[in-house]
């Protein structure tokens, strides 16, 4: 297993820069997620690494090999596609065997490896069937089987779960994680689904509009978002954001003054340089305390989703989202008392974390 290093990768398409000097590394055996909204360039990066497209600039290294100019067949990379891309005219067995047959491996070796992969993915009984005869989830496994049978140095996944229904997706997530633990394969996985990213990834490369926004572990990204995009993208329901003026309050504490209320920031020595200026405060819904505090708001909307309750509360010109226990009940229009836990606050200035 080798590591992946991408340096300043750039792709220009019809004059528009879709991938803008992207750099990141994936350690050998690491499961790295390329996360971002549609159109952010993540699938393009995958295709560039696979060699299906050519980059305008930048380098790609697998191990210490510079693969940037090589054909896909010479890069020793395997890919699982969003729509699985199984060969309809071949049986499941032949689909999995395809990469080996192209490399003219002896029949005995081919058979051994195919059966090994099929056993690992529990699709041995599907081997004689055709792709059109099996279900979506099964096709997905066949696609994965085709990738692992080669024992490549790098695995690429292009949103493989997005064509599955929610329940199957959840089950496959668990299986993919188990598979990765088994194979310890260097993996680059593209998705727009943050749940997948948070649960599967050891490292996340968050992207927007062709540029890297933040790189880190799922916890890093969630607890210390580097900019407003990161803060808003991760977390469901999304983070609450307010923009106001940073002023010094009582004692060493700071306060963010908004038109309708103010937020107590606690002691924040690192924010000293920004006093007097405009800052954006963020607080995640789960960090909003209902029932105590110095702030208040009007309950506008309530959603009971079974395991908990989501509250939509109006505070002046802003509306925030908070989480409450499943048994929370209050009529709409009630004024609620609430508080923001100071240590859980995030601060941003001009989009960047401070």
Partner 1 sequence: MTAYLRRLLFFLALALIATFSVLPFLWFIATSLKTQVEVTAIPPTLLPSFSLAFYRSALDDYHLLHYLKNSVIVAGAATVGTIAISLFAGYALARLPLRHKPLIMGSLLVVAMFPQISIAGPVWQILAALDWLNSYQGLILPYITLSLPLGVWIMTGFFRELPRELEDAARVDGCSHLQTLFRVIVPLAAPGVFTAAILVFIYAWNEFFFALLIMTQRPYQTLPVGIALFQGQYTIPWGEIAAASTIATIPLVLLVLLFQRRIVRGLSAGAIKG
Partner 2 sequence: MTILTRNMHGLSPRRRRERLFAAALLFPCFAFVALFAFYPIVHSLYLSLHRIILGLPGLAQPFVYLENYRQLWGDSVARHALTNTILFVAVSTTCELFLGLAMALTINRSFRGRGLIRAAVLIPWAIPTVVASQMWRFINNDHYGFLNYLLFGNDLASYQAWLADPSFAMVAIMVADIWKTSAFAALIILAGLQTIPDELYEAARLDGATAWQQFARITLPLIKPALLIALLFRTMDAFRVFDLVFVMTQGGPADATNVLQFYGYKKMFAEGLLGYGATVSVLVFLIVLGLSLVYVRFLGGEMREEKP
Query: Binds 68, which of partner 1, partner 2, none (CB < 5 to 8 A, cut-off by type)?
Result: partner 2
Residues in contact with partner 1, counted by CB under 8 A, come to a total of: 24
Query: Binds 81, which of partner 1, partner 2, none (CB < 5 to 8 A, cut-off by type)?
Result: partner 1
CA distances from 213 to 46, 101, 120, 342 (A): 17, 41, 36, 26
Element spanning 136, H or E: helix 136-148
53: DSSP letter: S
Alpha carbons 138 and 95: distance in angstroms, whole number:
13
Q: Minimum Å distance from CB 271 to partner 1?
A: 49
Q: Minimum Å distance from CB 55 to partner 2?
A: 7
CA within 13 Å, CB half, 238 = 9
Residues in contact with partner 2, counted by CB under 8 A, come to a total of: 12
The helix-helix angle for 107-120 and 92-102 (nearest 10°) equals 130
CA within 13 Å, CB half, 68 = 16
Does position 57 interact with partner 2 (CB under 8 A)? The reply is yes
Query: Binds 103, which of partner 2, partner 1, none (CB < 5 to 8 A, cut-off by type)?
Result: partner 1
Residue 102 or 107: which CB sits closer to partner 1?
A: 102
Query: Binds 10, which of partner 2, partner 1, none (CB < 5 to 8 A, cut-off by type)?
Result: partner 2
Residue 66 or 278: which CB sits closer to partner 2?
A: 66
Residue 89 or 167: which CB sits closer to partner 1?
A: 89
| Residues, the chain | 354
Does position 10 interact with partner 2 (CB under 8 A)? The reply is yes
Does position 8 interact with partner 2 (CB under 8 A)? The reply is yes
Q: Minimum Å distance from CB 98 to partner 1?
A: 5
Burial 51-83 (b: 16+ CB within 10 A, else e): beeebeebebbbbeeebbeeeeeebbbbbbbbe
What residues between 61 and 120 interact with partner 2 by CB under 8 A? 68-69, 71
| Strand order across the beta sheet in which 16-26 lies | 16-26, 4-13, 57-62, 65-66
Exactly one of 21, 289, 314, 323 binds partner 2 (CB under 8 A); that residue is 21
What residues between 278 and 297 interact with partner 1 by CB under 8 A? none
The two beta strands, 278-283 and 240-248, are antiparallel
What residues between 35 and 54 interact with partner 2 by CB under 8 A? 54
Q: Which two tokens stand for residue 156?
A: 């690429």
Report whether 323 contacts 311 (CB < 8 A): yes
Report whether 125 contacts 93 (CB < 8 A): no
CB under 8 Å, gap of 24 or more: what pairs does 300-303 form?
300/332, 301/332, 302/328, 302/330, 302/332
Query: Binds 59, which of partner 1, partner 2, none (CB < 5 to 8 A, cut-off by type)?
Result: partner 2
Query: Binds 272, which of partner 2, partner 1, none (CB < 5 to 8 A, cut-off by type)?
Result: none
Q: Minimum Å distance from CB 34 to partner 1?
A: 17
Q: Minimum Å distance from CB 86 to partner 1?
A: 8
Backbone CA torsion sign across 294, 245, 310, 303? positive
Query: Binds 55, which of partner 2, partner 1, none (CB < 5 to 8 A, cut-off by type)?
Result: partner 2
Exactly one of 8, 37, 69, 87 binds partner 1 (CB under 8 A); that residue is 87
Which parts of this chain interact with partner 2 (CB under 8 A)?
8, 10, 21, 54-59, 68-69, 71
Which parts of this chain interact with partner 1 (CB under 8 A)?
47, 50-52, 71-73, 77-79, 81-83, 85-89, 98-99, 102-103, 146, 150
């Amino acid at each position: 297993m080798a590591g992946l290093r991408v340096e300043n990768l750039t792709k220009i398409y019809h004059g528009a820069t879709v991938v803008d000097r992207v750099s990141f590394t994936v350690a050998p055996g690491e499961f790295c997620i390329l996360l971002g909204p549609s159109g952010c360039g993540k699938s393009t990066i995958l295709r560039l690494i696979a060699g299906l497209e050519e980059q305008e600039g930048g380098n790609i290294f697998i191990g210490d090999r510079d693969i940037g100019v090589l054909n896909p067949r010479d890069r020793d990379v395997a890919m699982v596609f969003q729509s699985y891309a199984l060969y309809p005219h071949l049986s499941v067995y032949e689909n999995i065997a395809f990469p080996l047959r192209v490399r003219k491996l002896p029949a005995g070796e081919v058979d051994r490896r195919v059966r090994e992969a099929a056993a690992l993915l529990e699709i041995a009984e599907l081997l004689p069937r055709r792709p059109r005869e099996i279900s979506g989830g099964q096709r997905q496994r066949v696609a994965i089987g085709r990738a692992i049978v080669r024992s490549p140095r790098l695995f690429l996944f292009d949103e493989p779960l997005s064509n599955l229904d929610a329940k199957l997706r959840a089950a496959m997530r668990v299986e993919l994680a188990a598979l990765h633990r088994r194979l310890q394969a260097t993996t680059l996985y593209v998705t727009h689904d943050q749940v997948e990213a948070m649960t599967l990834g050891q490292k996340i490369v968050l992207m927007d509009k062709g540029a890297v926004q933040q790189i880190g572990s799922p916890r890093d990204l969630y607890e210390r978002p580097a900019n407003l995009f990161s803060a808003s993208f991760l977390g469901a329901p999304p983070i609450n954001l307010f923009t106001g003026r940073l002023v010094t309050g009582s004692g060493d504490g700071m306060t963010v003054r908004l038109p309708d209320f103010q937020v107590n920031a606690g002691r924040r020595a690192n924010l000293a340089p920004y006093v007097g200026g405009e800052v954006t405060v963020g607080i995640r819904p789960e960090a909003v305390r209902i029932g105590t505090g110095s702030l208040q708001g009007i309950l506008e909307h309530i959603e009971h989703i079974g395991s908990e309750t989501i509250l939509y509360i109006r505070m002046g010109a802003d509306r925030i989202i908070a989480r409450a226990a499943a048994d929370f009940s209050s009529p709409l229009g009630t004024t609620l008392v609430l508080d923001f836990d100071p240590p859980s606050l995030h601060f941003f200035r001009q989009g960047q974390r401070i």
